[in-house]
Amino acid sequence: MFKVIFAEILKLIECEFNNKLFDETTEALMQEMPEDTSIESVRLAVAPFIYQSLIEIHPSLKDKIIVNENETSLLNLTFFNKDGLVIFRLKDTMLEYLMELILTNMAGESKRINLHIKDEESKLEIINQQDDNGLITNYDHEIVYYDALGTKIDKDTELEKDYHFSLEFCLPLKDARKYRLNFQENAEFLNRNRYININRSYEENLKDNLFHSPFNIDDLEIHLLSELDKEVAEIYQSPYHKMPHQKTGKLDSLLSSLKNLLGASEEIIISDNLYQTLSYYLFDLTSGYLYNKGIIIKKLNGEYTLYYLHLDNDQIIGVPEILTKEDVDLIFASEPANYNVIGLQEFFGLTHNRH
């Protein structure tokens, strides 16, 4: 039974510190574990000293437990119960012990419990959140401080909650309290603001000069699904086999706007940034918002036109630029990975060889 093993791990950890709140939380965690939980049904990673102690007692666990390479990470545990997913983490940051427990159910409700343990006091954070198809529809954050004996400390935590809220929803600190205390009335604005700002940050880490295979614009949705199949095959290091896909119609409105913008074309290519944005939107991973920038290059009668797009839900802005032969060579060669993209050299009419 995994519960027995987990209890032994907790005893090893409790030698490092003694904290009433930690004991209460881990006892509650034990109750979340199904009675038939086995070591094979969980993902368990522990610090080296915990691993060594465990396999001395249970040699059969040697190949069933992951050893954390990072010494600060004492314990990572993930398992499913009847309600959903349970994640438990414990770190030793050298300044404090940080415990995190996340409970997520199938209805989109999640509870995150963070416990910061120091010698003189502990801080308990509880964040309750409701997600509905990627949108945060309810959000509540509580912070309570306790002394070394587990007695509650009277402390004003409103500013601290404001700071956390401003980071979570990408707001100026001065505006955080107004929106935090009136979350549901402002949920639509807060979700949109959060998504746009996170997407801007994500955009900075993507390469806009890496392109995907060429396709006909009418096949946009099918192309995205096929490209995803290729990524999955690559991840699992298995051969790619073209699979049949049916259109969902989710991109029809966007496709109509794109065709009006681009006009006639033989084939087009899209940048990786735009591919990621459209794929996430297609699979409802963008909180219902479509916002980003990216590049489309169309080919017509041997000429190439580049459109640097700005997508904002139903608005698409794109400025065309006719590409010269030198432009085409420069764009293609600016990202080495382009040489490995199927059909890209043919699209550009190139015969480059990798040197």
How many CB atoms within 10 Å of residue 228? 15
- pLDDT attached to residue 303: 92
H or E stretch at 180: helix 173-180
Q: Does residue 202 carry a pLDDT above 50?
A: no
| Among the ranges given (7-21, 88-102, 201-215, 258-272), the one the predictor scored with the smallest mean pLDDT | 201-215
Query: Cα torsion at 299, 302, 308, 310 (round to 10°)?
Result: -30
Q: Does residue 97 carry a pLDDT above 60?
A: yes
Which of the two residues, 266 and 36, has the higher pLDDT score?
A: 266
Instruction: Compute the distance between CA of residue 27 and CA of residue 87 in angstroms, rounded to an integer.
Output: 15
The pTM (predicted TM-score) of the whole model is: 0.59
- Contact between residue 96 and residue 118 where contact means Cβ atoms under 8 Å apart: yes
Residue the block writes with tokens 């400025």: 319
- pLDDT attached to residue 88: 92
Instruction: Supply φ then ψ for residue 296, to 5 degrees.
Output: -120, 135
Query: Judging by beta carbons within 10 Å of its beta carbon (0-12, 13-18, 19+), is residue 213 exposed, middle or buried?
Result: middle
Distance from the Cα of residue 238 to its chain's centroid: 24
For 35-40, the CB contacts below 8 A with 24+ separation are: 35/1, 35/3, 37/1, 37/2, 37/3, 37/79, 38/1, 38/2, 39/2, 39/5, 39/64, 39/65, 40/64
Average pLDDT over residues 85-114: 88
Q: Does residue 285 carry a pLDDT above 90?
A: no
- pLDDT attached to residue 127: 94
Q: Is the dihedral of CA 329, 333, 338, 339 positive or negative?
A: positive
* pLDDT tens figures, 70-81: 768 889 888 888
Q: What are the strands of the beta sheet with 73-80, ordered from one edge?
A: 66-67, 43-46, 73-80, 84-92, 97-105, 109-117, 121-132, 135-147, 152-153
Helix, strand, or coil (residue 120):
coil
